[in-house]
Amino acid sequence: MAKGVFEGIKVADFAWVAAGPQVGRELAEHGATVVRVESHRAPDILRLSPPFKDGIVGIDRSAFGMECHTNKYGMSLDLSKPKGREIGLKMALWADIVSDGMVPGTMKKWGLDYETLSKHKPAGAVRPLRPSRHLWLGRGRHVRLLPSLWLAR
């Protein structure tokens, strides 16, 4: 099997609803290790949207949820709790890319925003990606990403 262009890249996927999860899926389909971080108290609305397999409603039965989260690992955290935020920070620091598709201010409230992460990573290692910019990932890899991603290397 051929290696994916993003093999070796680690992504902490905190995004939800459509665009962010789609980007994470694309990275995963091309070799990145993507870990979906989700709340069991407020799951991604795509996981609760029809159509459902065999017409039976269920959080793991949504076609949209499965389509957006294919090829990802997953974990559930309660980021409103200190222990959940501690684990979320460890995930963000583990990652090369952090996907943030939350309501503005949410990641900051949890201590997972650009400013906070940049204090934990070496100088210049964390930087927000702007719309319509290109990201060079080294070893000849190049991708155009949505603005919800941060390079956290």
The model's pLDDT over 54-70, given as tens digits with 9 standing for 90+, comes to 999 988 888 877 777 88
- The 3-state DSSP class for residue 14 equals coil
Neighbours of 27 (CB within 10 A): 26
* Three-state secondary structure call for residue 25: helix
pLDDT of residue 143 exceeding 60: no
Cα 148 to its chain centre, rounded Å, is 9
N-terminal to C-terminal alpha carbon distance within the chain: 27
Is domain 10-152 in CATH 3.40.50.10540, yes or no?
yes
Are 144 and 119 within 8 A, CB to CB? no
Domain regions of the chain by residue span:
10-152
Using the predicted structure, report yes or no on whether residue 102 has a pLDDT greater than 80. no
Residue 126 Rama label (left phi>0; alpha psi -120 to 50; beta): beta
pTM above 0.85, yes or no: no
Give the mean model confidence (pLDDT) for residues 107-136: 65
The β-bridge partners of 152 are 126
| Higher-pLDDT residue of 107, 126 | 107
Phi, psi of 56 (to 5 degrees): -100, 120
How confident is the model over 33-45, as pLDDT tens digits?
A: 999 998 878 777 7
